[in-house]
Structure 1
Amino acid sequence: MEFPETLSAERRALIEDAAAKLQTEYGGGFLGMVLSGSAGRGLETERSDLDVIVVVSPELADKPLPRNTELELLPVTLQHLETLATFGDDQWGYRWSYAWAPTLLDHTGGRIEQAVARQTQLSEDESLAVLSQRLDAWINQTYRSLKSARDGNLLAARMDAVEAIAPFLDVVFALDGQVRPYSKYLTWSLQHHPLASWPTDELLETIEQYLAGNPEAIRQSLRRVQSTELPLVQEIFDSWAAEQYDALRR
């Protein structure tokens, strides 16, 4: 088995023991293991759960896995792992759980590792699907924030700016062909897998400015995304009326 260097010897032993038991009990139906959660990204603490995705054949999908209070075994089929949820589906939120998660064991000739990598990346069509739903939502939320700032309602401006962060990050990551990471892993993701279009320090600082409800930082982020040479982006920005742009641009 291949483990991340950051994983302790004790936790490696737990996983190896579980793998041996699964191999004995399930035989060829036990296809592999993927290390998810904080441990899979070198961020675990002594309080972190040890989450291991166990890839099994379909006939074993509903069979209970061995229980261990120190190890959480999560069964999925290879077919499920190779199926990509589309934006808006119930399963979409789980896609980032596979992002850069190390494959510990693969009895499928590489299919598990390839499926995990594919869950992380967005195709051009997937990126456009995210943008078509989230770009206008982001612009609308920043518009609310900027109007409140203009009118002197700073609390509302900050609250609306905070609500704009989620669609903003959906847009930024989609433009780079990536699934947006969970908030817990945002800094880790940007440091280890930086976006080509937005330097990590600048993006993190922009988020801080959103939290403060800074109108100029919000406008700068709008200008930066609007400069993207993508027809869909231009179409969505162009759908906003001139009088609405007064608040967005000023």
Structure 2
Amino acid sequence: MGITLGETPDDTLAAFTARAAADPGVVGLVLSGSRVHEGMPTVHSDYDLHVILSDQHASPIAELDWFRSAHLDLVVIPLAEFRTRGMPGRPDSFARYSYVHAEVLLDRLDGAIARIVDEKRTLRAEEARAAVDGWLDAYVNQTYRSLKSYRDGRPDMGHLDAAETVPYALEVLFALHRRVRPYNKFLRWELERQPLGEPRWDASRLLPVLRRILADGDPPTQRALFTDIEEGARRAGHDRVLDSWGEDLKLLRQP
């Protein structure tokens, strides 16, 4: 089973969605990717479409899972799997952000597809708390490793560890606000359109800090970022994780 590309991505999307809507085995269509982020699409942008299939009825569209073209990228997935896709503890948890701004184009289940997508858009309170605890511990651990290497005269190794702190720091910052960490491509977009609530996390202030850490692992910059994250984490009640590090935190704090 193939897909005939139209003259433009819009033409291809329109033709495929009409075809999918005519298939009784298709219960939902969900659009994600750059096309659902205002201002992000370029002339190279395709359409990222999730096709949700009924668990009871077979569909020939199942053969198109992971179809890729310059116009259209497909994820074809059974309803039962779609319910849990991107959620914590799954190997596809990386896919969670793809649903944060997703648009439901077809919902044959009286709103069930929309409700499933809505559950993926933000972190539940208990989920956010567990996420912060886990990512915060990882962030402190990696920052500690980095600063130990700088202290012990191994700046090249310290730099490598510093670079690995950045994803953990972002996970903590977004989870503190019950938000899914965006893909790096959309980080500035998120910070500018939906700020994290404090000026120090604005794109104009946070992104240069992250770039400096990635560029050379600068220890003072690492310590300044840790100080800000520690303050926010303690204010949100995550003292247990931080306090478990005991005297080791002295290495992470500003002199």
TM-score greater than 0.5 by the shorter chain: yes
Aligned position for 2:225? 221
1:111 paired with 2:112, answer yes
Aligned position for 1:240? 245
Question: Which amino acid in structure 1 is aligned with residue 75 of structure 2?
Answer: L
SS in 1 for 2:74: strand
What whole-Å deviation, never above 9, does each CA across 1:8-28 have from its counterpart, x for those lacking one? Answer: x9333322211222233x23x
Matches within 5 A, 1:123-138: 123-138=124-139
Contact kept? 2:53, 2:59, Cα under 8 Å: no
SS in 2 for 1:88: coil
Aligned position for 1:190? 191
Question: Which amino acid in structure 2 is aligned with residue 201 of structure 1?
Answer: S
SS in 1 for 2:61: coil
Deviation at 1:138, TM superposition (A): 0.6
Deviation at 1:35, TM superposition (A): 1.4
Write the distance in 2 (CA, Å) between the matches of 1:201 and 1:114: 35
Matches within 5 A, 1:161-180: 161-180=162-181
Which of 54, 57, 63 in structure 2 is aligned with 1:57?
54
Deviation at 1:100, TM superposition (A): 0.5
Write the distance in 2 (CA, Å) between the matches of 1:56 and 1:174: 31
Contact kept? 1:35, 1:51, Cα under 8 Å: yes
List alignment gaps of at least 5 residues for structure 1: 1-8
Contact kept? 1:35, 1:102, Cα under 8 Å: yes
SS in 1 for 2:138: helix
Deviation at 1:79, TM superposition (A): 4.0
Write the distance in 2 (CA, Å) between the matches of 1:86 and 1:99: 12
Contact kept? 1:56, 1:76, Cα under 8 Å: yes
SS in 2 for 1:58: coil
Matches within 5 A, 1:1-250: 10-24=8-22, 26-27=23-24, 29-42=25-38, 43-60=40-57, 63-65=60-62, 69=69, 70-83=71-84, 86-197=87-198, 198-211=201-214, 212-228=216-232, 229-231=235-237, 233-242=238-247, 244-249=248-253, 250=255
Figure out how many residues of one structure are paired with residues of the other and give that number: 238
Question: Which amino acid in structure 2 is aligned with residue 157 of structure 1?
Answer: G
SS in 2 for 1:54: strand
Write the distance in 1 (CA, Å) between the matches of 2:89 and 2:205: 29
Deviation at 1:134, TM superposition (A): 1.6
Pick closer, same or farther for the CA change 1:170–1:37 going to 2, 3 Å: same
Q: Calculate percent identity across the aligned residue pairs.
A: 33
Contact kept? 2:87, 2:96, Cα under 8 Å: no
Deviation at 1:176, TM superposition (A): 0.9
Moved more, 43-52 or 202-211: 43-52
Question: Which amino acid in structure 2 is aligned with residue 230 of structure 1?
Answer: A
Pick closer, same or farther for the CA change 1:142–1:178 going to 2, 3 Å: same
Write the distance in 1 (CA, Å) between the matches of 2:160 and 2:249: 20
What whole-Å deviation, never above 9, does each CA across 1:91-128 have from its counterpart, x for those lacking one? Answer: 21111121212223333343323322321200111112
Write the distance in 1 (CA, Å) between the matches of 2:57 and 2:191: 37
Contact kept? 1:58, 1:77, Cα under 8 Å: yes
RMSD over aligned CA atoms reads 2.5
> Taking structure 2 as the reference length, what is the TM-score of the superposition?
0.81
